[in-house]
Amino acid sequence: MQPVIGIIPSMDNEEKSYYVHPDNVEAIKKAEGLPIIIPFMEDSEQINQLLQWIDGLYLTGGVDIAPKWYGEEPHPKLGRVDPPRDEFEITVIKKFYALQKPIFGVCRGSQALNVALGGKMFQDIYAQMDGELLQHQQKSLAGYTSHQVKITPGSLLEKLTGKTTLQVNSRHHQANRLVAEELQVSAKAQDGVIEAIEGKGDFFVLGVQWHPESLLAKNDEDSLKIYKGFVQACNHE
Ligand code: MN
């Protein structure tokens, strides 16, 4: 039996429909996980039942996270937000983390992970970070890499990839700012932007600011190693 990986989708509020880029689903399948897309729920008992049943939680990219979740008012450069997704995702992350079951987040997912556990974000790195920043909203397609990240020695990310630097894609204007107490930085870009975070405990918790699902769609080996590490950690046999 393959581990069941719950994927949190985005909501298109105009069309009133859930959506997930299929590269996310394909990445879980390639890593030999059984993907399921989970709808937003409010009932705590239903959420608890669902979280008992799934083996791993996968957090996808999406729009910005409302700053109220980390105690701030909106900055003028804050983009579109998705309040129902924020509410559901943050609830689910807290519960799943408390169950000590594996979590992997990409892009917005990495930020949601940090915020749910008490961290803070830059609402817009260009407006709020000092110094000259790299281009983090690349103009090329997501299947191509654009900047480098330096991986923290001894980190889970280093163990997964066997590398200390990685070429990644970049499609974000927000980033993690203060990492939650229970998390640590596992990669940074040359300009200081936090590009990956991970748990300190003995279960798999990882967030990357880039989109490994898009790189894996182009058969990137490092991305496959990351997804395989996640899915293997979800395998409880
Ligand atoms: Mn970046």
Per-residue pLDDT of the chain in tens (237 residues, 90 and over written 9): 999 999 999 998 888 899 999 999 999 999 999 999 999 999 999 999 999 999 999 999 999 999 999 999 999 999 999 999 999 999 999 999 999 999 999 999 999 999 999 999 999 999 999 999 999 999 999 999 999 999 999 999 999 999 999 999 999 999 999 999 999 999 999 999 999 999 998 999 999 999 999 999 999 999 999 999 999 999 975
Residue type for position 150? K
Rounded to the nearest whole angstrom, what is the distance from the C-alpha of residue 49 to the centroid of ligand 1? 36
Rounded to the nearest whole angstrom, what is the distance from the C-alpha of residue 55 to the centroid of ligand 1? 29
Rounded to the nearest whole angstrom, what is the distance from the C-alpha of residue 169 to the centroid of ligand 1? 7
φ/ψ region of 52 (left if φ > 0, alpha if ψ in -120 to 50, else beta) reads alpha
Give the model's pLDDT for residue 203.
97
213 has catalytic annotation: yes
Catalytic residue among 21, 89, 213, 234: 213
Q: The whole model's pTM is what? A: 0.97
Residue 213's H or E segment, with its range, is helix 212-216
Give the model's pLDDT for residue 237.
58
Cα–Cα separations (whole angstroms), residue 79 to 124, 137, 150 = 9, 14, 28
Catalytic residue among 107, 136, 172, 195: 107
Rounded to the nearest whole angstrom, what is the distance from the C-alpha of residue 189 to the centroid of ligand 1? 7
Rounded to the nearest 5 degrees, what angle is found at the Cα of 186, between the Cα atoms of 120 and 175?
35
Rounded to the nearest whole angstrom, what is the distance from the C-alpha of residue 33 to the centroid of ligand 1? 27
Rounded to the nearest whole angstrom, what is the distance from the C-alpha of residue 202 to the centroid of ligand 1? 27
Contacts for 13 with CB less than 8 Å, ≥ 6 apart: 82
Catalytic residue among 21, 136, 172, 211: 211
211 has catalytic annotation: yes
- How far apart CA 106 and CA 104 sit, in angstroms, is 7
- How far apart CA 115 and CA 68 sit, in angstroms, is 10
- How far apart CA 20 and CA 8 sit, in angstroms, is 8
107 has catalytic annotation: yes
Nearest-Å Rg of the Cα atoms of the chain is 16
Give the model's pLDDT for residue 42.
95
Rounded to the nearest whole angstrom, what is the distance from the C-alpha of residue 90 to the centroid of ligand 1? 23
Q: Which residues surround ligand 1, an ion (CB under 5 A)?
A: 136, 170
- How far apart CA 125 and CA 115 sit, in angstroms, is 16
- How far apart CA 123 and CA 134 sit, in angstroms, is 16
